[in-house]
Amino acid sequence: MTVELPVCLKSGEAARLIPVANGSQKERCTDSVLLAALCVVRPFAEAVFGTINKNIGSKTSVAALTEVVFKKQLAEANCRPDGLIIVSTPKAEWRALVEAKIGTAKIDPHQLSLYCKLAVENSVDAVITISNELTSFPDHPPYDVPREVAGKVEIYHWSWMTLVTLATLLLSTADDEFDPEQHFILKEMLRYLSHENTDVRGFHQMNPEWPLLLERVHSGADIQKGHPHVRRTICAWHQEQSDICLILSRKLKIPVTLRLKKRHLDNQMARVEFDAEDFAVTKRLRAAFDIPNLAGPVEVVADALRVGFESHEARAMRRTRSMTEAA
């Protein structure tokens, strides 16, 4: 597929479903496969962009490029984002830089700051990050947004497992109206992302401070809500909640969501503060999951006073199994 370069770009390549790169460029390949699928598989694009409230209508086109180099560069750095998405309608165009990580790599705040400045310099509307870090909502990134760029561009985060889950649900509900070629492309994208060599994974480990915090709880030590160990644990617990939602969604073939207070839907930091205070007082981590066709939410409480020191993997498997059986 040929994509015309926007005037802001010096160079770029159309996203390829079958990219050519060496073995050390897994991020580039994975990003290219995803962006190519978004351009071609309309139902998938509708589902993915729907998570950030971007409507993909019948007259909307989606194009994407990789290895993009902008004409206007920053004085302090030569930036090369992993990709650029262009969503066009007859009346407007929306563009977003894409920065992707795989494996255990995390989004670097300094790099994010540079890309936001680059976006502003080149009239790009948003910066989208993709990694194995999970988040409850795309506009609640699992990292701190640098103050100097907050509010200047839209910032969203997709986890790879969120994208895998959206594709899985879409394929599980596909009917005769789903274009066979698009169905095939989406299955191949899902196969690629699900292969162990790609290193796309869900939440797999609590933060390093969690065992130390457990020791303090069990010893009767005072727990302060503002302590960094508590805040990092709450953020890790939020990723765990998101992972459970995704696991249950894939297993049950229906969308499972978190039940949150409205003020926590609108304010990520307020949610962290509330849960940190609750843990400091009760020594408990809480979550509630909305599963379609159930009379009420499934509530989960992890009591730190009762938590033993079994492996995280064993706990995760036990929780997922019990919640699946309950559903």
Q: Could you give the CA distance from residue 62 to residue 41 in angstroms, rounded to a whole number?
A: 10
| Alpha carbon separation from 33 to 40, 70, 103, 277 (Å, rounded) | 11, 22, 16, 42
pLDDT in tens, 65-117: 998 999 898 887 778 889 999 999 988 999 999 999 999 889 888 889 999 99
Query: Do 190 and 160 meet the contact criterion of CB atoms below 8 Å apart?
Result: no
Q: How much is the mean pLDDT over the chain?
A: 87
d(CA 255, CA 200): 20
Residue holding tokens 């003020």? Answer: 263
pLDDT of the residue at 317: 53
State yes or no: pLDDT of 311 exceeds 50. Answer: no
Pairing of strands 154-159, 126-131: parallel
Q: Which residue has the tokens 């994509």?
A: 3
Say what the pLDDT of residue 268 is: 83
Band (pLDDT 50/70/90 cuts) for residue 143 is: confident
* pLDDT tens per residue across span 85-96: 999 998 899 999
Distance CA 201, CA 183 (A): 23
Query: In the structure, what pLDDT confidence band is assigned to residue 323 with cuts at 50, 70 and 90?
Result: low
Compute how many other C-beta atoms are within 10 angstroms of the C-beta atom of residue 24. Answer: 7
Instruction: Tell me: pLDDT of 39 over 90.
Output: yes
Q: What is the per-residue pLDDT across 243-277, written as a single tens digit (0 to 9) for each?
A: 999 999 999 999 999 999 888 888 888 999 999 99
Give residue 97's identity as a one-letter amino acid code: L
Residue 200: Cβ within 10 Å count: 22
On the question of pLDDT at 194 being above 70, the answer is yes
Q: Is the dihedral of CA 245, 246, 247, 248 positive or negative?
A: positive
d(C-alpha 143, C-alpha 158), whole Å: 12
Between CA 161 and CA 135 the distance in angstroms is 10
Structure tokens that stand for 288 in this block: 């509630």
74 phi/psi in degrees, rounded to 5: -80, 150
Distance CA 17, CA 264 (A): 38
The pLDDT value given to residue 315: 53
What is the model's pLDDT at position 319? 57
Confidence of residue 165 (pLDDT cuts 50, 70, 90): very high
Which of these, 6, 22, 156, lies nearest to 68 by C-alpha position? 6
pLDDT value at 325 more than 90: no
d(CA 71, CA 7): 8
pLDDT of 303 above 80 = yes
Quick one: CA torsion of 105, 167, 165, 67, rounded to 10 degrees?
10
Which of the residue ranges 44-53, 143-152, 257-266 would you say has the lowest mean pLDDT? Answer: 143-152
Amino acid 177: pLDDT:
74
**Which sequence spans correspond to the domains of the chain?**
9-197, 203-326
pLDDT above 70 for 22: no
- Spell out the residues 6+ positions from residue 7 whose beta carbon is closer than 8 angstroms to its own: 71
Q: How confident is the model at residue 313 (pLDDT cuts 50, 70, 90)?
A: very low
Please give the backbone phi and psi of residue 66, each rounded to the nearest 5 degrees, phi first.
-120, 170
The token duo for 226 is 């503002």
What six digits make up the tokens of 195? Answer: 């292969």
pLDDT score of 203: 87
